[in-house]
Amino acid sequence: MKKAYLISLLLLFLGQTLIYSQLPPVFNAEDEASANHSEMVRTYLIPKRIVWKSDETGSYIKNEETLLQKGNGQVAVNDQNLFRLISSKEHKPGILLDFGKELNGGVKISMGIRPSKTPLKLRVRFGESVSEAMSDIGGKSNATNEHSLRDFIVEVPWLGSIEIGETGFRFLRIDVVEANENAPIKSVEAAFVYRDLDYLGSFESNNKRLNDIWMTGAYTVHLNMQNYLWDGIKRDRLVWVGDMHPEVMTINTVFGKNSIVSKSLDLARDQHPLPQWMNTISSYSMWWLIIHKNWFDYHGDLDYLKEQETYMIALLDQLSTFIDKDNKEILNGGRFLDWPTSTDPKAVHAGLQAMMIMTFEAGSEMMETLGRNDLKKKYQKISKRLKKHIPEGNTSKQAASLMVLADLVKAKKINTEILKKNGVENMSTFYGYYILEAMAKAGDYQGAIDVISEYWGGMLDLGATTFWEDFNIAEGKISGRIDELSETDKSDIHSDFGDFCYVGLRHSLAHGWASGPTAWLTQYVLGVNVENGGNTITVKPHLGDLEFVKGTFPTKFGILKVSHTRQPNGKIVTKIDAPEGLKVKQ
């Protein structure tokens, strides 16, 4: 009834009388209950800088510096010295703007008064990189309009505004489409759409690079917390359950318990009734189970876990039918870990075998929590059976890491022989998280910190403000930055490389599965580990060569504050400020 009430107030204010009950049912109580209320916030941001313009003479582009000044957002008939785009048959001007940081949303363009009252046709190109915003659809660079439109023509009204676009971007290029135009542009603002959340978790050390990496991972996931938890804000904008696991661990670390996780997990469950695999990929159904185990560990929501019981048991039982007489997994459907391993059957089998063990161990623990001791023992037995088969011939870092986490192989041996081989080459932004986990299990905390600094820091060195779907360190070393125009003597990290589904500019530069260092740094360097449904925290730091680290962590009881400082004699002094009700162990 909100809208009808507002109408009645407005009419009374205008001196008119109207009986409230006579108002038409514009928005009744049933509508109120069924409305899909958005949990998102929209705000408007001005560009930070002008990267490029087609004209340096001042003949076709004038007053462009006004785009970098915060205005009132309201067009007027007497606006002076507006940004102008002036076209001729020979020159149709264009300009490239940088909003300073990857954003989700679109753009609002406002035009002032001019003699012609006709709409102005502009070509709008969004880009996660400069090269993407400067590209044409297709060709060798493989720029696309898939999942979200990022290259199209729009009409801007005379003395009015238009808001268009729904994608992930940092850069925006606009070009006049038709000749003989003289367009006074009041403003070009990014319409930034995001979930209004407090960063409850934090991480700060004497190493600024690590601090920036932690925050970049947190921000990457934050951007992908839209109506559901997506993998990317440009592409794919979908709920991919495997991708969710690093994202959920980051959410646990930064934002605490958030309904977007359960909402997305439930969507995946309901969209894929058994015997379907989630997203058609068997490992993603296993990730769904593992996420639920982690979610309960952190938050202890028994009622929510009980809601999953029937589906969980059926899924675990279905998985148990994909084990042969030699205790090997024989999963069907999409056999997938991550893209770099997808052409290596030995790696895929090794990873899936390890995941089956991890899944049945998680299932056994959840059944114990649910009071199903019969199923606890059943799934424990299946896990032990799977451990009798140890895959051979795998040399991939991704699968080897899972084998370490499943206790199929010795952590220190694998760390030395596979994980540390060739430094950060053959890494993956998705499974990089599990590589770090395996290195921690081997006790190589400094080695993992170095990997984070070199690999994820390598993206920051190229201008990243969010972490990417994929990153090859060798390609990064010969490439220019994503926030600069392409240089003739350097490769373009965005348009020149890529494989599988992320060839060229189709490559997503804001992918939540790449956020692993955020969760890892809090868990292993700050040393915060959660037990007992979120009731107990164990603090065990591993500073490596850091002088100090401090941070906060969201718990079900409130915010935990932790700091560790290395003394001149090498001793670490720890201070803990815990909320009431939280049990802390050291």
The 3-class SS string of 489-539 reads CCEECCCCCCCCCCCHHHCCCCEHHHCHHHHHHHHHHCCEEEEHHHCEEEE
| Mean pLDDT within 318-328 | 98
The larger pLDDT score, comparing residue 34 to residue 425, is at 425
89 Cβ neighbours under 8 A, 6+ residues apart: 179, 180
Query: How many domains, the chain?
Result: 3
171 Cβ neighbours under 8 A, 6+ residues apart: 51, 96, 97, 98, 99, 126, 127, 128, 129, 130, 132, 133, 483
133, 252: one domain: no
**What residue type is assigned to position 434 of the chain?**
Y
Tell me what pLDDT residue 24 has: 43
Question: Within a domain: residue 213?
Answer: yes
67, 15: one domain: no
30, 80: one domain: no
Residues 346-360 have pLDDT tens digits of 999 999 999 999 999
CATH code where residue 60 lies: 2.60.120.260
Residue 136, φ and ψ in degrees, nearest 5: -105, 155
**CA count, 13 A, side-chain hemisphere, 450:** 11
- Given a cut of 60, whether residue 68 has pLDDT beyond it is yes
CATH code where residue 322 lies: 1.50.10.10
224, 119: one domain: no
Tell me what pLDDT residue 38 has: 56
Contact 3, 23 (CB under 8 A): no
Question: Within a domain: residue 548?
Answer: no
Q: Is 409 helix (H, G, I), strand (E, B) or coil?
A: coil
User: How much is the mean pLDDT over the chain?
Assistant: 93
For the ranges 28-42, 53-67, 210-224, 382-396, the lowest mean pLDDT is seen at 28-42
Query: Cα–Cα distances in Å, from 63 out to 46, 84, 86, 98, 108?
Result: 15, 7, 12, 17, 19
191, 243: one domain: no
Q: How far apart are CA 246 and CA 430, in angstroms?
A: 8
Question: Within a domain: residue 501?
Answer: no
Residues 225-263 have pLDDT tens digits of 999 999 999 999 999 999 999 999 999 999 999 999 999
Tell me what pLDDT residue 406 has: 98
HEC states along 159-227? CEEEEEEEEEEEEEEEEECCCCCEEEEEEEEEEEEEECCCCCCEEEECCHHHHHHHHHHHHHHHHHECC
153, 209: one domain: no
- Given a cut of 80, whether residue 435 has pLDDT beyond it is yes
- Given a cut of 60, whether residue 19 has pLDDT beyond it is no
Residues 438-469 have pLDDT tens digits of 999 999 999 999 999 999 999 999 999 999 99
Contact 507, 520 (CB under 8 A): no
| Mean pLDDT within 289-308 | 98
Which residue segment(s) compose the domain that 27 sits in? Answer: 2-35
Q: How far apart are CA 428 and CA 185, in angstroms?
A: 43
Share of the chain above pLDDT 70, in %: 94
Share of the chain above pLDDT 90, in %: 92
Q: Sorting pLDDT into bands at 50, 70 and 90, what band is 8?
A: very low
Query: Cα–Cα distances in Å, from 160 out to 117, 119, 172, 216, 377?
Result: 10, 9, 20, 36, 68
- Given a cut of 50, whether residue 28 has pLDDT beyond it is no
Question: Within a domain: residue 449?
Answer: yes
For the ranges 2-11, 224-233, 370-379, the lowest mean pLDDT is seen at 2-11
Strand partners of residue 563:
550, 575
163, 217: one domain: no
Tell me what pLDDT residue 6 has: 36
Question: Within a domain: residue 498?
Answer: no
180 Cβ neighbours under 8 A, 6+ residues apart: 87, 88, 89
47, 106: one domain: yes
| Mean pLDDT within 541-559 | 98
Which residue bears the tokens 């979930």? 195
DSSP structural state of residue 381: H
172, 301: one domain: no
The tokens describing 492, both together, are 């373009």
Residues 486-540 have pLDDT tens digits of 988 999 999 999 999 999 999 999 999 999 999 999 999 999 999 999 999 999 9
Residue 557, φ and ψ in degrees, nearest 5: -100, -10
- Given a cut of 50, whether residue 275 has pLDDT beyond it is yes
Tell me what pLDDT residue 30 has: 47
Strand partners of residue 184:
84
Q: What is the pTM of this model?
A: 0.93
Q: How far apart are CA 146 and CA 411, in angstroms?
A: 41
**CA count, 13 A, side-chain hemisphere, 364:** 16
Among 195, 225, 259, the domain boundary falls at 195
Tell me what pLDDT residue 7 has: 36
Question: Within a domain: residue 572?
Answer: no
Tell me what pLDDT residue 150 has: 97
For the ranges 25-34, 297-306, 466-475, 535-544, the lowest mean pLDDT is seen at 25-34
Tell me what pLDDT residue 82 has: 96
11, 114: one domain: no
Question: Within a domain: residue 571?
Answer: no
Tell me what pLDDT residue 132 has: 98
Question: Within a domain: residue 265?
Answer: yes
28, 71: one domain: no
Torsion sign across C-alpha atoms 151, 153, 159, 160: negative
90, 220: one domain: no
